[in-house]
Amino acid sequence: MKILLTPGPVPVVKEIRNAQTKEMITHRSKEFSELYEDLCTRLKRYLSAEEAYVITGSGALGLETLVLNLCEKEEKVVCFPNGEFGEKLVETVKVYANPEAHTVEAGKGWNIERAKEAIDQSNAQVLAMVYNETGYGVRNHIKEICRYAKSKGMLTIIDGISAWPATELDMKEFGVDGFVTGSQKAIGAPPGMALLGISKEGVEKFTSREFIPSYYCDLRRHKKRYEKDRQTPNTPAISLFWALQKAFDLLDENGGLDACVKRHKNAAAHVRKRLNEMGFSIIAEPGFESNTITGFVCDSAKQAERIKVGLEKSFGIKIVSARGAYKDNGLRIAHMGNFKMSWLDSCLDAIEKIKKEGEE
Amino acid sequence: MKILLTPGPVPVVKEIRNAQTKEMITHRSKEFSELYEDLCTRLKRYLSAEEAYVITGSGALGLETLVLNLCEKEEKVVCFPNGEFGEKLVETVKVYANPEAHTVEAGKGWNIERAKEAIDQSNAQVLAMVYNETGYGVRNHIKEICRYAKSKGMLTIIDGISAWPATELDMKEFGVDGFVTGSQKAIGAPPGMALLGISKEGVEKFTSREFIPSYYCDLRRHKKRYEKDRQTPNTPAISLFWALQKAFDLLDENGGLDACVKRHKNAAAHVRKRLNEMGFSIIAEPGFESNTITGFVCDSAKQAERIKVGLEKSFGIKIVSARGAYKDNGLRIAHMGNFKMSWLDSCLDAIEKIKKEGEE
């Protein structure tokens, strides 16, 4: 077997994979209503959301759904990109509203001290940023930032696609109005679903709008249909919904959110420790390290390539390059979803071996 | 086993269901590129399209993708709704451009004689309509209509979600510029993918635009990424893509498109014949009957309810009500995808029995 240590799609355990193979049902049935109600009810509770929906589509479509429902055309949206996914969020906002982007250098994270002035001066109606910048493995301090932005009357949108459920989140406590994650990330289901949480203020915003610039992603339609009969306005990816239900079951059986966060945090610390011992430096600034993915810097682009190719060819282990400023000499190991610690050690042992061989 | 004779999701055969359970791969891999290239290449050939894409999302999202890429804000779009799905198309167009809708009474179909005057007088830039109106089981004569509209310089968008591959289609010959179908319909895969075909003129339209009002659905991004490495711009529903590949394999193994159309046409004729023999009338006007779904009129709403509930409770057979004007006294039997003729006969035998019991 090939060990997949990539930041989503992550390996999907057999129980979840097999959940996709039930005999098909129609989405206009009591059976589907029960399935969807279970998913939304649990998701709402997990996130501390006012409402929760599962959208058939990539995580990116879920993020776009938040943006187009919560941001109006003439509104300003203050954004804090610090890597590729933060920049994609700015691109998405650009389609629907007016982004004002502030950046920090590659590997640095956003905290309230760094973001405060921009928030104060922006006069923005909305703040939008990523929780976990997958491209570098940097975790932004969204709790302090969102709470502050909300105290200024803004709505807050968080791309938590590669963060949840491996990183702390409580929408109410964190002051998050729109949250999205992807099914193929730390929850460990197959790709194809975006999981959304919306706060009370977020619901007030989209329900009070007269025009929302999408049909499929118009949350008024999702809300209306859910309230009618716990169904979706369009045909959902039913087999994937079964897989997600199984993934939620496993999350609950394995100790719930706290245990999941702890497992990821410990794995991340272990990976960083071993990489440091080998002499690699971590891309993320201390205090901003990701729970789900660790980016590290190689001596050269050549060494990075040798490690990546060597892992795949000689050990059957797949990791990926870093992005942006570190795309040539940086690599990333994901510890996301249903990984095993032994996989990480196999990967780290192999990196050590390849590194030494290169030095001989 | 419950027999599902609903118009999508349709029953998914075991081979296709099991194709979803392979060990997960990343979409940034050679293996995925090969999978996606195979799907797009075959889809292009099946449809006679210039370009083809698979979008992760419902069929409705695929239709919206066509609309937002091929219609500009100030453009007029002439639409010919004749049922619920035609009306949903008008709603979708309304988000992005200016629809001008013409209607006929419930059960009637559109042909060129009926549509010509509206096309002539519309001065529209785009024509958009459904091929197979699922709500009543009516097949519109899109070939003559689209060819005429194209001769007038219009682009044409066809919602073929419940039609393909069970109904004749050749985008070049039919003059169709944007075509969409859903994975959970007659191709017999699970729901969650929209299959798109675009003509040369369609490609020229979206590539020449400076602004497209979506990020996820912007076909310029899909085209660019496909041309780069045969991948998708965002994470696709990989397990569903495997299922679609298997569904394409089965289509090819079972004689291809012609055999598929013939099988559906024969099943439709058989269902109509037996319903007529029982004294039911067909909702669709003669000459406009659907290949994939037959709507029929019961004596009363009470009889319709008795048949629908009786089929499910006593025979484990699921059919659905008609929509719109026939929602109370109309029922629909789908003969779509990997159904068996014996299922249809079981259903028809049961209807006959329930009908007789009601008359005693």
Query: Do B196 and B310 have their domain in common?
Result: no
Residue bearing tokens 């799905």: B85
Distance from CA of B67 to the nearest CA of A (A): 11
Q: CB B216 to CB A61 under 8 A?
A: yes
Nearest by CB: B237 against A10, A24, A191:
A191
- Is residue B73 in a domain? yes
CA angle B218, B233, B68 (to 5 degrees): 10
**Which pLDDT tens digit goes with each residue over B5-52?**
999 899 999 999 999 999 999 999 999 999 999 999 999 999 999 999
Distance CA B160, CA B287 (A): 18
pLDDT at B332 > cutoff 90: yes
Q: CB A58 to CB B61 under 8 A?
A: no
Residue A289: phi, psi to the nearest 5?
Answer: -70, 140
- Is residue A2 in a domain? no
pLDDT at A358: 86
Nearest by CB: B238 against A23, A190, A235:
A190
Residue B204 half-sphere exposure toward CB, CA atoms < 13 A: 5
pLDDT at A62: 98
CATH assignment of the domain containing A18: 3.40.640.10
- Is residue A3 in a domain? no
Q: Give which of A234, A313, A327, A332 to mutate to test B binding, by max B Cβ within 10 Å.
A: A234
Q: CB B237 to CB A236 under 8 A?
A: no
C-alpha distances out from residue A156 to A75, A180, A283, B257, Å: 13, 12, 27, 50
Q: CB B26 to CB A4 under 8 A?
A: yes
pLDDT at B143 > cutoff 80: yes
Per the DSSP assignment, residues forming a β-bridge with B333 are: B294
Q: State the SS3 of A210-233.
A: CCCCCCCCCHHHHHHHHHHHCCCC
Whether the CB-CB separation of B207 and B226 falls below 8 Å is answered with no
User: Which residue stretches of chain A have pLDDT < 50?
Assistant: none
C-alpha distances out from residue A228 to A202, A217, A224, A345, A347, Å: 20, 18, 6, 50, 50
Query: Do A210 and A316 have their domain in common?
Result: no
Chain B residues with CB-CB distance to A28 below 8 A: 6, 320
Distance CA A347, CA B27 (A): 21
CA angle B82, B85, B86 (to 5 degrees): 45
Chain A residues with CB-CB distance to B4 below 8 A: 24-26
Q: Name residues whose C-beta falls within 8 Å of residue A29's C-beta, 6 or more positions apart in sequence.
A: B318
Query: Do A199 and A332 have their domain in common?
Result: no
- Is residue A216 in a domain? yes
| Region B319-328 average pLDDT | 96
User: Amino acid letter at B273?
Assistant: K
Q: Name residues whose C-beta falls within 8 Å of residue A134's C-beta, 6 or more positions apart in sequence.
A: A7, A8, A83, A84, A85, A161, A162, A290, A292, A293, A323
CA A218 from chain centre, in angstroms, equals 22
Query: Do B229 and B103 have their domain in common?
Result: yes
Domain limits at A31?
Answer: 14-253
Domain endpoint, select from A253, A272, A294: A253
Residues of B (79-98) whose Cβ lies below 8 Å from A: 88, 91-92, 95
Residue bearing tokens 């990116």: A60
Residue of A nearest to B25 (CA): A9
User: Amino acid letter at B201?
Assistant: E
Residue of B nearest to A28 (CA): B320
Domain endpoint, select from A253, A275, A303: A253
Q: CB B56 to CB A60 under 8 A?
A: no
First vs last C-alpha separation in chain B: 30
Stated as kind and residue range, the H or E segment containing B279 is none
Query: Do B294 and B264 have their domain in common?
Result: yes
**Which pLDDT tens digit goes with each residue over B71-104?**
999 999 999 999 999 999 999 999 999 999 999 9
Query: Do B293 and B161 have their domain in common?
Result: no
Distance CA A295, CA A283 (A): 5
Whether the CB-CB separation of B4 and A233 falls below 8 Å is answered with no
Query: Do B153 and B25 have their domain in common?
Result: yes
Domain endpoint, select from A232, A253, A274: A253
Nearest by CB: A238 against B11, B91, B190:
B190
- Is residue A5 in a domain? no
Distance from CA of A274 to the nearest CA of B (A): 25
pLDDT at B352: 97
A vs B: CB pairs below 8 A: 183
The DSSP-derived string for A221-278 is: HHHHHHHHHS--SS---HHHHHHHHHHHHHHHHTTHHHHHHHHHHHHHHHHHHHHHHT
User: Amino acid letter at A329?
Assistant: N
Residue A84: phi, psi to the nearest 5?
Answer: -60, -40
Query: Do B271 and B236 have their domain in common?
Result: no
Nearest by CB: B235 against A25, A64, A182:
A182
ipTM of the complex in this document: 0.96
Distance CA B146, CA B162 (A): 18
Distance from CA of B279 to the nearest CA of A (A): 28
pLDDT at B1 > cutoff 70: no
CATH assignment of the domain containing A264: 3.90.1150.10
A342 CB near a chain B CB, below 8 Å? no
Nearest by CB: B24 against A11, A95, A216:
A11
Q: CB B26 to CB A18 under 8 A?
A: no
Residue A280: phi, psi to the nearest 5?
Answer: -85, 145
- Is residue A174 in a domain? yes
The DSSP-derived string for B146-212 is: HHHHHHTT-EEEEE-TTTTTSS---HHHHT-SEEEEETTSTT-PPSSEEEEEE-HHHHHHHHT-S--
Whether the CB-CB separation of B344 and B5 falls below 8 Å is answered with yes
As for how many domains chain B has, the answer is 2
Query: Do A262 and A176 have their domain in common?
Result: no
| Region B347-356 average pLDDT | 97
Percent of chain B past pLDDT 70, that is, above it, reads 100
| Region B343-353 average pLDDT | 98
pLDDT at B358: 86
Query: Do A190 and A140 have their domain in common?
Result: yes
**Tally: H helices and E strands in chain B:** 13, 15
Q: CB B4 to CB A17 under 8 A?
A: no
Query: Do A261 and A247 have their domain in common?
Result: no
- Is residue B4 in a domain? no
Per the DSSP assignment, residues forming a β-bridge with A54 are: A195
Q: CB A27 to CB B191 under 8 A?
A: yes
Query: Do B224 and B260 have their domain in common?
Result: no
Q: CB A216 to CB B58 under 8 A?
A: yes
- Is residue B7 in a domain? no
